[in-house]
Amino acid sequence: MGMQAASAAASLSFIYSLKWGAPNSAQIFVTPSNKLPLKTNATHFPCPKFTNNKVKTRATLGEKDDIAPPTPLLVQEKEQSNREVEESVKILKKAAKTRKVAAAEILSALSVIEKAKIDYSGFLETLGGSESPGRTWMLIFTAEKKLKSGRYFPVTAVQRFDAAAKRIENGVYLGPIGCLTFEGRFSWKKRMLAFIFERVHIKIGPLKPLEIGFGQKDNREPSTVSKDPFFVWFYIDEEIAVARGRAGGTAFWCRCRRVTTSYSL
């Protein structure tokens, strides 16, 4: 009798597991038939539904972020510097054409150009050309040391630079009254042009020009170390040029036609 009861109980347990799943050892399925389930005041909240998709915190492969990456600070500073130089060059070119730009505005433009780090690798060829007799530049504006003050140059002053022959000519032209020109040689290192004048030409009215040599017999190369005069060039393009002299003054020139004389190089 006992064996039959145990067999019946095992069969009932097997059928129960097929219909409702295997009972958990911690669960109690027997409820007294003479008692109702315990009533409680507990509030039941719906369980949140979870999906297998992960929360998207950044762009996935093959997608682009909506926000562009920030521009590096050094790039921003360089772009700002380039814009300032471009605006300053425009001011100087306007001053060269009209001579109506205020001196304070020109001094500010010169200060920007002096501080900028401009590539000078092509300066010499732009300044003096690739073949003789070179190129000529008219002096427009001169400023005192540290750009404290400045003014438009009152007379016609023209400089010629011959990059092929390394020759320089500096002249002041007074129309029918005459002219005074200095001529010599120069050397170039990086953006520094040192020079030595060898002779001067003087022309007064209808009189024949007079040439006077300075008596320098050596053919040494001009050098800043030898206390020769020099220019440090900050900017040169096809229209204007900016440089500082040995004494500390800054000036800018504009490209012009060559002034021809009977004793020109």
- pLDDT bucket at 81, cuts 50 / 70 / 90: confident
- pLDDT (tens digit per residue) in 191-222: 999 999 999 999 999 999 999 998 766 788 99
- How many angstroms separate the CA atoms of 23 and 16, rounded? 8
**Tell me, what's the pLDDT at 219?**
80
Determine if residue 233 is left, alpha or beta; phi over 0 gives left, psi from -120 to 50 gives alpha, anything else beta: beta
- pLDDT bucket at 178, cuts 50 / 70 / 90: very high
The candidate with the shortest Cα–Cα distance to 152, out of 252, 256, 258, is 252
- pLDDT (tens digit per residue) in 218-243: 788 999 888 899 999 999 999 999 99
**Tell me, what's the pLDDT at 215?**
73
- How many angstroms separate the CA atoms of 260 and 214, rounded? 23
Cis ω on the peptide bond leading into residue 206 (within 30° of 0)?
Answer: no
- Topology at the third CATH level for domain 121-255: Lipocalin (2.40.128)
The domain locations on the chain are: 121-255
**Tell me, what's the pLDDT at 28?**
35
